[in-house]
Amino acid sequence: MRNITCIEDLRQLARRKVPRAFFDYAEAGSYAQETLRANRAHLERIKLRQRVLVDVDERDTSTTIVGEKVSLPLALGSVAMTGLKHGNGEILACRAAHAAGTQFTLSTMSICSIEDVASAVGKPFWFQLYVMRDRGFVRSLIERAAAANCSALVLTVDLPLLAQRHCDVKNGLSVPPAMKMKNLINMASKPGWVFSVLSGKRWTFGNLAGHVKGMEGVKSLAQWTSTQFDPTLSWKDVEWIRSIWPRKLIIKGILDIDDAKLAAKTGASAIVVSNHGGRQLDGAPSSITMLPKIADAVGADIEVMFDGGIRSGQDMMRALALGARSCLIGRAYIFGLGAGGQAGVAIAIDILKKELDVTMALCGVKSIKEIDHGVIAQV
Ligand SMILES: Cc1cc2nc3c(=O)[nH]c(=O)nc-3n(C[C@H](O)[C@H](O)[C@H](O)COP(=O)(O)O)c2cc1C
């Protein structure tokens, strides 16, 4: 892991170390990937304002996210199947986040279960909830997250059903990995990955296995999962979840001004302006295009978080300037995990933190609360 200087280095290393089906799964967007590309392209076209002769000797990147103190305005977002990018990936990523003074979100579709992570890390983490048709199971997931002392529930609302990623179909992606000849040959060329995943706690969806009635055997579990995402999901469900979840609620997947205003009335602590990293509605606007409009519309009514395309501290600066209080990352830390396990995630966070710190200095700001529209160059 020498000579890693940026997130792109981690991406390239992860591509060499992780079997193709799982690397492609992490990298891809849905359908023609227009929204995936727009997330990056629209961040890059925002230019930062270079300021000089400002004393920026004492800088501080710390802030709070939904009331929790963090060393930088960034948390690790929910990523399904993290434990198949590296064995025990969820535990390793959570440890790296906590060691860096920030937070980790465990996906419903994780490999390590809520209980696996809770018993392996010392501090509360966040749990991301997908609402399934079986509301009894949804309630039990919420109760398990509460029992595991999760400090926030991240309710994902932009996946009433799963959009297609062409590469997953072509690669025959399955959980656990399908032992087809093509996959076996590819896996055989990634011995580090094979060792880490084989020595990991689990190879299937840890939050579902053993908790869903009548689900014996992995195949039926996978089938159950693909039919369980609930297209009837509505604001009534948000109300119900709010009424049974005792702690902070974050609504993730808001990309529309009207939806943002409705979300602000639910009693949730924050929204995440997000298009699921370009993995759901292809043709939707980039997250960064919608961020300032949504931030203006909700004002101080609800905390605004952002994700979609963050690959540098400069990107974080752009999002903070356009109205986000904090950012989530997906691929940036998953590349780190694939490249080097816990150390790789730690490097990813450290790169973003250092880049944000230098960017702040060169824009003439010393603290997160000083960052506003004023750091954007009018070109
Ligand atoms: C491989 C992968 C799996 C994901 N799985 C989930 C998930 O299980 N739940 C969820 O709410 N979001 C999921 N997301 C979306 C991320 O939480 C986040 O919104 C997105 O990755 C942000 O874009 P970025 O990857 O460009 O940072 C996933 C994203 C990726 C890349």
**50 CB-contact burial (10 Å; exposed 0-12 / middle 13-18 / buried 19+):** exposed
How many degrees, rounded to 5, is the angle at CA 145 between CA 143 and CA 146? 65
pLDDT value for 252: 98
Closest CA to 82 of 311, 357, 330: 330
Task: Specify the ligand 1 atom closest to the Cα of 278.
Answer: 23
Average pLDDT over residues 18-39: 96
Average pLDDT over residues 56-61: 97
pTM: 0.96
Pocket of ligand 1, beta carbon within 6 A:
25-26, 39, 77-80, 107, 109, 128, 156, 252, 274, 276-277, 279, 307-310, 329-332
Least confident of 35-39, 186-190, 341-345: 186-190
* Contact between residue 236 and residue 119 where contact means Cβ atoms under 8 Å apart: no
Give per-residue pLDDT as tens, 170-228: 888 877 666 677 778 888 889 898 889 888 888 889 998 887 776 655 555 566 777 88
Q: Is the pLDDT score of 318 beyond 60?
A: yes
**How, if at all, do strands 105-106 and 74-76 pair?**
unpaired
Ligand 1, pocket-test mutation among 30, 79, 82, most atoms within 8 A of CB: 79
Calculate how far, in angstroms, residue 334's C-alpha sits from the geometric centre of ligand 1. 10
Q: What mean pLDDT, rounded, does the chain reach?
A: 94
Average pLDDT over residues 230-242: 95
Q: Read off the pLDDT band of 351 (50, 70, 90).
A: very high
pLDDT value for 111: 94
Ligand 1, pocket-test mutation among 36, 78, 171, most atoms within 8 A of CB: 78
Helix (H, G, I), strand (E, B) or coil at 229: strand
What percentage of the chain reaches a pLDDT higher than 70? 96
pLDDT value for 284: 98
Catalytic residue among 42, 86, 98, 276: 276
Q: Whose CA is nearest to atom 6 of ligand 1?
A: 79
Calculate how far, in angstroms, residue 277's C-alpha sits from the geometric centre of ligand 1. 6
* Contact between residue 244 and residue 142 where contact means Cβ atoms under 8 Å apart: yes
User: What is the DSSP code (8-state) at residue 48?
Assistant: B
Q: Is the pLDDT score of 129 beyond 70?
A: yes
Chain position carrying tokens 């979300």:
263
User: What is the DSSP code (8-state) at residue 371?
Assistant: -
* Contact between residue 61 and residue 356 where contact means Cβ atoms under 8 Å apart: yes
- Cβ neighbors of 203 (< 8 A, separation 6 or more) are 83, 84, 111, 175, 176, 177, 197
Alpha-carbon distance values, 181 to 15, 87, 185, 186, 189 (Å): 20, 22, 6, 9, 13
Calculate how far, in angstroms, residue 279's C-alpha sits from the geometric centre of ligand 1. 8
Q: Is the pLDDT score of 54 beyond 60?
A: yes
pLDDT value for 180: 72
Average pLDDT over residues 316-329: 98
Give per-residue pLDDT as tens, 278-317: 999 999 999 999 999 999 999 999 999 999 999 999 999 9
Q: Whose CA is nearest to atom 15 of ligand 1?
A: 276
Calculate how far, in angstroms, residue 109's C-alpha sits from the geometric centre of ligand 1. 11
Tokens, residue 179: 């032992």
Annotated active-site residue 373? The verdict is no
Average pLDDT over residues 93-97: 98
Average pLDDT over residues 66-90: 97
pLDDT value for 45: 97
Task: Specify the ligand 1 atom closest to the Cα of 274.
Answer: 19
Alpha-carbon distance values, 21 to 17, 59, 105, 178 (Å): 12, 42, 23, 10
pLDDT value for 217: 56
Chain position carrying tokens 């590309």:
37
* Contact between residue 376 and residue 334 where contact means Cβ atoms under 8 Å apart: no
Q: Read off the pLDDT band of 101 (50, 70, 90).
A: very high
Closest CA to 36 of 290, 256, 288, 308: 308
Chain position carrying tokens 């990936």:
89
Higher pLDDT, 188 or 342: 342
Calculate how far, in angstroms, residue 104's C-alpha sits from the geometric centre of ligand 1. 13
